Amino acid sequence: MEKIKPWISAFRLRTLPLSVSGIIIGSCLAYYNGTFNTAIFILAILATISLQILSNLANDYGDGVKGTDNDERIGPERALQSGKITPDEMFSAIRVNILIVILFVFLLIYTSFGSQYFLYAMLFFALGVISIFAALKYTIGESAYGYRALGDIMVFLFFGLLSVIGTYFLYEKQLDHVLFLPACAIGLLSTGVLNLNNMRDIESDTSSNKITIAVKLGLKRAKVYHTILVFGAIALSLLFGILYYRSITNFIFVIAFIPLIIHLIAVLKAKEPKLLDPQLKVLALSTFLLAILLGIGQILHIL
């Protein structure tokens, strides 16, 4: 049991709801069109969760061996930082997790496309490989993009655009303009979670030469950036509700604006980076709630 706890901590379970937010929206929109498939949904969730866990393990390993996770860091103690998991053990876990991701991605692609859509299958397998590479290169290696202020754009692309649009395509085998606004909204909030994490770690990242957007902007301007991300997501969600209005139930998602605004007020009032840590869970769960309500709002009136 003592050995299991550090691994559970390394998986960072609180990040998992955020990672599947795009899957939920893409699946709900496919349900609205009558193309929802339970097997695709389950496999998409499993592939995404395993990929997120891979990213978390790789992040722990990369920051751990670089010394970025040190005593100056404010957030929860990481696995390598604690010494309860060795670098070799973590690296072995990463390799095993890569195989798990590949397995789920293969099953997902085969279930969705079979042998009828070979080119689509190859495209999504390539996207799966790119996703694995992106998960690893965030902090691992000399050219880790997380150390060059590129994490935000990557999160927006993978957690927002690829997650929502890619999931929808698995069901529909085509794209639709209806996807763009919710994909961008989830992408902005996911980027907000990363920015919040980087604001919390701004001092330790600076001393470790980990360059993030928050480090470049400084805490005060990073809060302004954070405000733009959150309000941008709110605005895009409202625009989506207006443009694709079917019934008043479409707007059930505005309930999620309450915790988002409360979160933003707490962030703006925080005087010290350590006060931002509790808000990570708040923003992640608020994004998850928005995804669920936005998706449900589209299908309630057809049930």
pLDDT (tens digit, 9 = 90+) per residue, 198-239?
Answer: 999 998 888 888 899 999 999 999 999 999 999 999 999 999
For 106, the domain range is 4-302
User: How much of the chain, in percent, has pLDDT values that exceed 70?
Assistant: 95
Residue 25 near residue 295, CB atoms below 8 Å: yes
Residue 282 near residue 259, CB atoms below 8 Å: yes
List the structure tokens of 225: 């950036």
Model pLDDT, residue 78: 74
Residue 73 confidence class, pLDDT cut points 50, 70, 90 = low
Model pLDDT, residue 108: 98
Element (H, E) at 141: none
Residue 232 near residue 195, CB atoms below 8 Å: no
12 CA to centre of own chain: 12
Half-sphere exposure in the Cβ direction for 166 (13 Å, CA):
26
For residue 72, pLDDT beyond 90? no
Task: State the Cα–Cα distance between residues 242 and 246, nearest whole angstrom.
Answer: 9
Model pLDDT, residue 303: 64
Query: Amino acid identity, residue 156?
Result: F
Mean pLDDT of the chain: 92
For residue 287, pLDDT beyond 70? yes
Model pLDDT, residue 221: 97
For residue 67, pLDDT beyond 80? no
For residue 94, pLDDT beyond 90? yes
Residue 256 confidence class, pLDDT cut points 50, 70, 90 = very high
Model pLDDT for residues 126-175, shown as the tens digit of each residue: 999 999 999 999 988 888 898 999 999 999 999 999 999 999 999 999 99
User: How much of the chain, in percent, has pLDDT values that exceed 90?
Assistant: 73
Q: Which residues, listed in sequence order, are joined to residue 211 by a DSSP beta bridge?
A: 148
Model pLDDT, residue 34: 93
Over residues 185-201, mean pLDDT = 96
For residue 301, pLDDT beyond 80? no
Model pLDDT, residue 64: 78
Model pLDDT, residue 63: 81
CA distances from residue 224 to 118, 156, 196, 204, 229 in whole angstroms, order as listed: 46, 18, 12, 21, 9
Please enumerate, as own/partner, the contacts of 102-108 that have beta carbons within 8 Å and a separation of 24 or more: 102/128, 102/132, 104/43, 104/46, 104/47, 104/50, 105/47, 107/43, 108/40, 108/43, 108/44, 108/47, 108/170
Over residues 81-100, mean pLDDT = 89
Model pLDDT, residue 172: 96
* Count of domains for the chain: 1
Model pLDDT, residue 134: 95
Number of neighbouring beta carbons within 10 Å of residue 216: 12
